[in-house]
Structure 1
Amino acid sequence: MRADKIGRIAAGAVAVALVTASCASDRSGDDGVSSGGSDGKQAASAFGTLQSPCGPGDAKGKTDQGVTDEQIAIGFGDDRGFPSAPGLSKEMGDAVAAMIDWCNQQGGINGREIKGNQYDAAYMQSAKVMQEACKQDFFLVGQGFAMDEAAEQHRVACKLPTVAGFTVGPNAAMGPMKYEAVPYPVDLMNIAGLRIAEQMFPDFKDKTDILLSTSPAVSAGTNKITGAMKEVGMEPMECGVRLNDKGESSYMPFAEKIKDCGAGYLWSSDSPDPGQFSLLESIERAGAEPKYIFEATWYSQAVSGWNKSGTGDGMHIGMIFQPLENADKVPAVKQYVDLVTEKKGKVALLGMQAASSFLLWAQAADKCGSDLTRQCVINELAKVHEWTGGGLHAPTDPGANKPASCGLMVKLTGTKYEQIHPKNAGEFQCGPEFVVEIDEKNWGTKLNGDRISTKFLTDDVIKPQSS
């Protein structure tokens, strides 16, 4: 497979993951966890609305792999070394590294310092990375590997639990011993962007088409959104625009097709790249004027930097995360930006997603005190049914692997994004209609009665135990 094609597929795989990095709530709170640690200590700091799970203590014992009297070893990382897409998901590793430092400055977890083992899966090396982690880590935390599906068999076999930053493959997304701050399960989908667009544009249901792609990863996401649209009474116009993931010699024929079809709105699950930008520029030259209702992958510096000419003005993007522009109103966002910037890391939505997963793991580990075992942490994670990462995103249900039922919309004007729905920055609209069930034919895996993938499942995986 050519390197440029692999690069596009890699970006598409991450795009599927980033679709979830898109509702936070006007509700505040402490993420459903107690304000003190397991031994009654009061944490020395906070992260947004979340009392810090980090602090001094006298935890003792080599209780599990990667745990000693003084230390907890966790694995984290991304695909930053992928030659065809240098820096791929770098923001995730940067975020977890910054969060580890933040936590250790407070005393670690009950006095045990966190040792972070950072991995670079470089897209094609996820299985090798997982085999390394299997030998030394207590948990994997906040990682994002585009080819996590290739590593899942090894993770399950060695019984390595994870609080992932994101998952891409269906078996990884529904795997045993797996939790996420922002779940993206195969059987449920947050469609806040669609629902909000319906409210904003009366003819959205009848005049919308989906931009298609030859990329397998993007096509998987497109199939889900097409099914979700039909589930809520929408029928895409089917203008027949399918872009080659390797690029096109000219995008004008596609622009003319969109104009002739009369599409009033275009929906894209693809990630922004020069080809996508060329399409939008061609649409402008063709004189077509559809509104763009795009997914969270289009909330990026690459897009805002490209839009200096105004070609993308009016682009609407559905999200379940607080946009960075709300940092002055949402303390958790400002804290994330400050911590990562201080370490000269990359600031982006996926970084916030990784930071939230770190906090989710840390609060569960804190509750276990000296008895820090994988079993105990999994028991605590399974109890968490409302989680916002201290206010970084909408309430999700990590314990049950269910997505947020909220959303907001931002609009691009020039190089600036701004929240336009709900009108008050920092607030989100929520409702049960923002989540739909996905047709089993689009799951990509078989689930058991507990909604766990059966692909690599064994009888001895660690399961939550009720206290």
Structure 2
Amino acid sequence: MKVEKIGRLAAGALAVTLLASCASSRSGTDATSGGGGTRDGGTAGAAATATSFGTLPSPCGKGDAKGSTDQGVTDKEIRIGFGDDRGFTSAPGLSKEMGDAVSAMIDWCNQQGGINGRTIKGDQYDAAYTQSVKVVQQACKQDFMLVGQGFAMDDAAEQYRVGCKLPTVAGYTVGPNAAMGPMKYEAVPYPVDLYNIGALRIAEKEFPNFKDKTDLLHTTSPAVEIGNAKVAAAMNQIGVKPLDCGVKTNNAGESSYTPFALKIKKCGAKNLWTSGSPTPAAFGLLEANDRAGLKPTYLFEATWYSSLVSQWNKSGIGDAINIGMIFQPFENAAKVPAVKQYMDIVGAHKGKIALLGMQATSAFLLWAQSAKACGSDLTRQCMVNELAKVHEWTGGGLHAPTDPGANKPASCALMVRLHGGTYEQVFPKNAGEFECGGDFVIKTDPKTWGTTLNGDRTSTKFLTGDVIRPQSS
């Protein structure tokens, strides 16, 4: 996604930009062990008799798997690492929902009997943004795999993960080498060489003048500008030429946003896109647009699907905010059982409920399904073999279909719109459905990747000859 030196810094900055709005830690401590139980006991009985997660048959249950087959695996136990950046002092609670979700899912699975009878033991890590190397080195010493984690500075730790041959089903990746690394699978991949433009395709259908009356809102944030550049390139590929109204606000804030609103008005932009997150500066510009009498259609990233935004929108200024997503919104829980199940399981643990939590949940389920398939032969090699076979995955219905085995993104999307304090799916019209298309995924310019890929689309930076590769059966 980025050029090499700036790329790594920008990757971390991008993670903070994207995650802070979704936002006493522990590092390497045993978060859930033994049979585990819900903190309030509210879902213990339901979990113990669970047969599915949404549309996915439960991968958890009793069994007679045996053998100390690999690091972190014994007759009775499977030890995995997970975690987030919740201890980052500049953004306390950063991606906390990810660790909360995996912790809750470990208990949910253990209450059913674990994986083939083996109890899951979770080592919860707090990378606190700057400590990813430390926590990955610790995981290298004790864990079978990393599962559902989200570390903003994952690229800094990638050489250690690859060096100790530690496979992962990551909750998310940020750095280009982590996103394209060997022995890495994601329930919701975001590879550097392919890009889901579903939101742009929906906008083409939904909004008049999208092709010739659209512009991007720029800021002084390098991370936001990287995202904007990627979107601008995608727009050009589909025949949308941004107007270039000259709006570039200071990420730290402006004394007045009126001059920027007047630029937009003079330029004639009817649709405005940003890769930024909801911040006081962003809200300031939207408020200035409203005072200037502008009524543009806003096309924003999924970070704007946030209680922070819905609480801000008491005056209705944000009623024109449209958000492209590949996850089911929480408002669809009544129609999408997997969403309600995620909310119930994590809620019973008093955990934080947010989109990244669903992403970590999907990663855990993907890992658990593959672990079940390995049976007594639970080795890292078997896990890589099984994960590489999965080419259609929805986490039981949490999100649009993805291709974890080939590290390819979804080719579907939906759009929600803010109205007052509530988000509502507006496209497709039927809540719970996605719009899909063969033209929803495009190839990106190799100059933007920030890494070199081999013929298998794997980053070569830390690649060694002895990494665990999928074996055909």
TM over 0.5: yes
Question: C-alpha offsets along residues 197-248 of structure 1, whole Å, 9 cap, x if unaligned?
Answer: 1101131011111112332322222221111111111111111222333333
| Cα separation, partners in 2 of 1:105 and 1:84, compared to 1, 3 Å | same
Return the letter of the residue paired with 1:69: D
* Counterpart in the other structure of 1:148: 154
Which residue among 216, 226, 238 is the counterpart of 2:232?
Answer: 226
User: In the TM superposition, what are the counterparts of 1:3-402 in structure 2 within 5 Å?
Assistant: 10-14=15-19, 45-402=51-408
- State the aligned residue count: 439
Q: Which has the higher contact order (CA 8 A, sep 6+)?
A: 1
* Counterpart in the other structure of 1:34: none
For the residue of structure 2 that corresponds to 1:209, the secondary structure is strand
Structure 1 stretches lacking a partner, 5+ long:
19-42
Return the letter of the residue paired with 1:132: Q
Aligned-partner Cα distance in 2 for 1:386–1:15: 30
Q: Is the 8 A contact 2:12 2:153 kept in 1?
A: no
Aligned-partner Cα distance in 2 for 1:466–1:172: 24
Q: In the TM superposition, what is the alpha-carbon distance from 1:410 to its structure 2 partner?
A: 0.5
Q: Considering only aligned residues, what root-mean-square deviation do their CA atoms show, in Å?
A: 1.8
Structure 2 stretches lacking a partner, 5+ long:
1-9, 24-48
Question: C-alpha offsets along residues 402-446 of structure 1, whole Å, 9 cap, x if unaligned?
Answer: 000011111100000000111110111111111111111111111
Q: Is the 8 A contact 1:209 1:266 kept in 2?
A: yes
Aligned-partner Cα distance in 2 for 1:464–1:433: 29
For the residue of structure 2 that corresponds to 1:219, the secondary structure is helix
Return the letter of the residue paired with 1:335: Q
* Counterpart in the other structure of 2:453: 447
Aligned-partner Cα distance in 2 for 1:210–1:278: 16
2:423 pairs with 1:427? no
Question: C-alpha offsets along residues 302-325 of structure 1, whole Å, 9 cap, x if unaligned?
Answer: 111111111101211111111000
Aligned-partner Cα distance in 1 for 2:65–2:378: 9
Farther off after superposition, 268-277 or 371-380: 268-277
Q: In the TM superposition, what is the alpha-carbon distance from 1:386 to its structure 2 partner?
A: 0.2
Question: C-alpha offsets along residues 261-283 of structure 1, whole Å, 9 cap, x if unaligned?
Answer: 11101111111111111111111
For the residue of structure 1 that corresponds to 2:401, the secondary structure is coil
Farther off after superposition, 337-346 or 222-231: 222-231
Return the letter of the residue paired with 1:454: T
Aligned-partner Cα distance in 1 for 2:137–2:217: 38
**After TM superposition, which residue ranges in structure 1, 4 or more long, deviate above 6 angstroms?**
5-8, 15-18
Q: Is the 8 A contact 2:84 2:150 kept in 1?
A: yes
Return the letter of the residue paired with 1:265: N
The normalised TM-score by structure 2 is 0.90
| Cα separation, partners in 2 of 1:184 and 1:10, compared to 1, 3 Å | closer
| Cα separation, partners in 2 of 1:386 and 1:15, compared to 1, 3 Å | farther
Q: Identical aligned pairs, as a percentage?
A: 73
Aligned-partner Cα distance in 2 for 1:375–1:305: 48
The normalised TM-score by structure 1 is 0.91
* Counterpart in the other structure of 1:30: none
Aligned-partner Cα distance in 2 for 1:401–1:7: 21
Question: C-alpha offsets along residues 50-105 of structure 1, whole Å, 9 cap, x if unaligned?
Answer: 00000011111111111111111111111111111111111111111111010000
Aligned-partner Cα distance in 2 for 1:381–1:216: 35
Question: C-alpha offsets along residues 123-174 of structure 1, whole Å, 9 cap, x if unaligned?
Answer: 1111111111111111111111111111111111111111001111111110
